[in-house]
Structure 1
Amino acid sequence: MNLSLLLLFVFSNISPPAPSPVSSITVNTPSELHASKGDAVTLSCTFISTSSPTSKMTVNWSYRPQSGGPPVSFFHFYSRAYPTTEGQFNGRIRWQGSPARGDASILLINATLNDNGTYACTVRNPPDVHGSTTSHTVLTVTPKAVRIRFSDVAVLLAFVLLPSAIITLVLLGQMLCPRKKRNQSKAYRSPIEVTEGIFIDLSFSALFQDPDEHDYYLQELKKRRTIDEGYAESGF
């Protein structure tokens, strides 16, 4: 066997090395978040890595204002949390992630209208060098709606309706139960009553021929009339 055949035999039995698996990572965040002013907002960020998280894993959060401009980094994680100590997010960021569970979320406390904008979560987990390492979330913060409690409505109705109800009851009472007006003038006597009185006088004159008896009964009749007139003037 010559040398050329020997070399051909040797190289034909040598296979090329298998390619090493490519490490990759995928980061996911919700595309949009909505909150009211003063709320605590969870900026969710999860990741899937082909390698288990190690002490070299890093998380970075940045913010781009709604009005535009360059992104500003305000949170960093490298074995422990490093929230910013300056700017609008100072003292308002809490770490809520768990690298072992593939969670890199943070909590934004006391959301304001100035927090409107785009938030980017970037996760790196060496040796992962490929994949989607950054994901974005658009946060919209709106003014808190005014809520009317039932107790407030009840107090308002009491102040408005109670006086109206009292006035209505008073007016109805005056309409249904008017005061009895006393007649200050002398009692009116009809012509029939006058005629009856004259007839009685004439009857007495005819019945009693004795002048003393006649005068006595006339005085008694006058007393009776005086009493009747007194009752009439008093309104009874």
Structure 2
Amino acid sequence: MAALSQVAYGASLLAVLWVGICSAVCVEVPSETEAVQGSRMKLLCISCMKREEVSANTVVKWYYKAEGGKDVPIYEYNNEKRELESHFRGRLRWNGSADMQDVSISVLNITLNDSGIYTCNVTREFNFEAHRPVFTSSTLIHLTVVAEAREDLTSVVSEVMMYILLVFLTLWLLVEMVYCYRKVVKAEEAAQENATDYLAIPSENKENCAVPVEE
């Protein structure tokens, strides 16, 4: 009987390891750390966990801590979504996925007072026949709320390069126009000089200039 229990326990451990290997397809993406006042901010919390056929009980708890303050529970998911009593009351929305790998929440109409540290705690109890391992994970999000959106460095560089290119093309067009204008003027001057030289030739010389016709 003891040997059977050891075999069952070993099989459970192998199953847990297999869960960890298969969860590699889930990518844990870090949350954004800056929000604009008055916007909707998604606090991203990805907790890669399991294969579809392995069931687990998942409990998610979100906490908020202001600068110099302490952690205050603001949201909880335990088979149902529950917004807790805090200054976020009425402004939190569940953004998690059906497979409970994405356990994110969103803050509506975010304010400057919402800057601080957000903690996402995830507890999972896997349901195996002989063993129920429990795993916990925690994600910290240091969020800063600003009054206005800051310009991204990439967009600034792109804008500067666009203006430089525009100035270069304008100068190149001006140079081409001046070059073509001078070319046309020189052609006209050469034509006028030829016409003047021709008019300056006496009329008898003009007749001698004619090509004799052979009989």
TM (norm. structure 2) is 0.52
Cα 1:16–1:73 change in 2 (3 A) is closer
Aligned length: 130
Selected match of 1:140 from 137, 144, 154: 144
- For the pair 1:21 / 2:13, whether they are aligned, the reply is yes
Find the aligned partners of 1:101 and 1:64 in 2 and give their Cα distance. Answer: 24
Matches within 5 A, 1:47-62: 47-50=47-50, 52=52, 54=55, 56-62=57-63
Q: Describe the SS at the equivalent of 2:99.
A: helix
- For the pair 1:36 / 2:28, whether they are aligned, the reply is no
Shift of 1:99: 3.9
Shift of 1:33: 1.2
Shift of 1:37: 0.8
Residues 175-233 of structure 1, C-alpha deviation per residue, up to 9 Å, x if partnerless? xxxxxxxxxxxxxxxxxxxxxxxxxxxxxxxxxxxxxxxxxxxxxxxxxxxxxxxxxxx
Residues 120-168 of structure 1, C-alpha deviation per residue, up to 9 Å, x if partnerless? 11111203424x511111110011269xxxxxxxxxxxxxxxxxxxxxx
Give the corresponding residue for 2:102: 103
Which segments of 5 or more consecutive residues in structure 1 lack a partner in the other structure? Answer: 1-13, 147-236
Q: Identity of counterpart residues, as a percentage? A: 31
Assess if the C-alpha contact under 8 Å between 1:29 and 1:136 holds in 2.
Answer: no
Residue identity matched to 2:13: P
Q: Superposition RMSD on alpha carbons, in Å? A: 3.1
TM (norm. structure 1) is 0.47
Residue identity matched to 1:100: D
- Structure number with greater Rg is 1
Find the aligned partners of 1:79 and 1:113 in 2 and give their Cα distance. Answer: 32
Matches within 5 A, 1:85-104: 86-100=85-99, 102-104=101-103
Matches within 5 A, 1:53-92: 54=55, 56-65=57-66, 67-84=67-84, 86-92=85-91
Shift of 1:91: 0.3
Q: Describe the SS at the equivalent of 1:89.
A: coil
